[in-house]
Amino acid sequence: DSGVTQTPKHLITATGQRVTLRCSPRSGDLSVYWYQQSLDQGLQFLIQYYNGEERAKGNILERFSAQQFPDLHSELNLSSLELGDSALYFCASSATGEQFFGPGTRLTVL
Amino acid sequence: GESVGLHLPTLSVQEGDNSIINCAYSNSASDYFIWYKQESGKGPQFIIDIRSNMDKRQGQRVTVLLNKTVKHLSLQIAATQPGDSAVYFCALGGSQGNLIFGKGTKLSVKP
């Protein structure tokens, strides 16, 4: 157990819908990272937050957004969903250096 | 840009043998390299890391070798066990503090 929790574990929704994925980092970790894992693209970095502030952006679509709250949990919002958004979404947290990954949310868009 | 590639998508070894998983990277400015293990239905799990000022680092049954001249990283697992069956990813530290992952090698251990 990495200490990072993610909910929900599975999410099934339809195209055009909006969903919110939630992540609670390890106690004391200020950084949260979001990654998308798909069969064709592998693990891709989406966005990082540090202590409530956006720190870095990767290959994140404009339809996607994230935030980190004062209690350090983070949410990833995915809107106008498309079939191609079906993937595993992981968050990771770190204090300095090593990133600890959560169990992921499997998103299926039908 | 930064990229990471794996030499082999799958590797099958006999239980008790040593496993070697290879990885190549393109960015010579990278100074942090990590190996992750991902079991089915789980998130990536940290195995071992190495900084560019080292060429070898050992953990418990695992060794990471870094060859900066040819931009090559390898993970050696000694006495491979059935519990080692998983997908192994190499990753390098990106310029934004994120991780850039390779495609992964699926290791299968035959009893």
**Phi and psi, residue B20, nearest 5°:** -130, 120
**Contact residues, chain A, for B102 at CB < 8 Å:** 42
* Confidence (pLDDT) at A96: 80
What lies within 8 Å, CB to CB, of A96 at 6+ separation is: none
**Contact residues, chain B, for A97 at CB < 8 Å:** 32, 49
Q: In this model, does residue B1 exceed pLDDT 60?
A: no
One-letter amino acid at A55 equals R
What does the H/E/C string look like for B38-92?
ECCCCCCEEEEEEECCCCEEECCCEEEEEECCCCEEEEEECCCCHHHCEEEEEEE
Tens digits of per-residue pLDDT, B46-78? 999 999 999 999 999 999 999 999 999 999 999
DSSP symbol at B11: E
* Confidence (pLDDT) at B7: 65
What lies within 8 Å, CB to CB, of A39 at 6+ separation is: none
Nearest CA to A59 out of A49, A44, A48 is that of A44
Q: In this model, does residue B28 exceed pLDDT 60?
A: yes
Query: Which of B32, B98, B103 lies closest to A58 in CB terms?
Result: B98
* C-alpha to C-alpha distance for B56 and B54, rounded to whole angstroms: 6
Q: What is the mean pLDDT of residues B20-27?
A: 91
| Average pLDDT, 10 consecutive residues per value, chain A (110 residues) | 95 98 97 93 92 94 97 98 97 91 97
Distance from chain centroid for Cα B58: 13
* Confidence (pLDDT) at B95: 78
